[in-house]
Amino acid sequence: MPFTPIHMGPGILIKAILQSSFSLMVFGWTQIVMDIQPLIVMITGEGHLHGFTHTYVGAVLIAIFSALTGKYLSEFGLKILRISKSENPISIVWWVVFLSAFLGSFSHVFLDSIMHADVEPFFPITLDNQFLGLISIPLLHKVCLYSGLIGAAIYYGTYLKVKKDL
């Protein structure tokens, strides 16, 4: 995947479907955390580009870290964006935080497994990547892009319907 943003497409679709049962901000934070290790490898030239963080075992640890930090970062972000008011702050419930972080980290490993030969998603059980080449890279990019566009349309349509009903 061309660095984190394309991973947001499926997240936007999930947000449109699950609404308040999913935090797109925590999902997005998880995408960033997932790609810190590859970024360090790209900067330093040292290490395995898609190493431990791009395994499902690593994804569990990333999800836990992202949930514990992402809840507070997201609530702070909502406050800065003025979506959450000081007199009535939005609090993201923990199960939503963990669901969002786990969907973020597991989907990241899955999507990167399809296109990157160095991803070993089931390490330490096997070094094989059964997902590599599952679909073509251009199709993978289209799936991510179109899922985001469809999700945005659904979310916006739902928003307009709710606003009209008020």
Summarize pLDDT for 95-120 with one digit per residue, the tens.
Answer: 999 999 999 999 999 999 999 999 99
Residues spanned by the domain of 84: 4-165
- Structurally, the chain folds into a number of domains equal to 1
- On whether the CB atoms of residues 25 and 66 are closer than 8 A, the answer is no
CA distance 39 to 90: 32
Q: Provide the whole-model pTM.
A: 0.90
Token pair recorded at residue 73? 């970062």
* pLDDT bucket at 147, cuts 50 / 70 / 90: very high
Is residue 2 predicted with pLDDT exceeding 50? no
Cα 25 to chain centroid distance, Å, stands at 9
* pLDDT bucket at 159, cuts 50 / 70 / 90: confident
* pLDDT bucket at 165, cuts 50 / 70 / 90: low
* pLDDT bucket at 69, cuts 50 / 70 / 90: very high
Show the beta-strand stretches assigned E in 83-160: none
Summarize pLDDT for 80-97 with one digit per residue, the tens.
Answer: 887 756 666 778 999 999
127 vs 158, residue with greater confidence: 127
Beta bridge mates, 85: 88
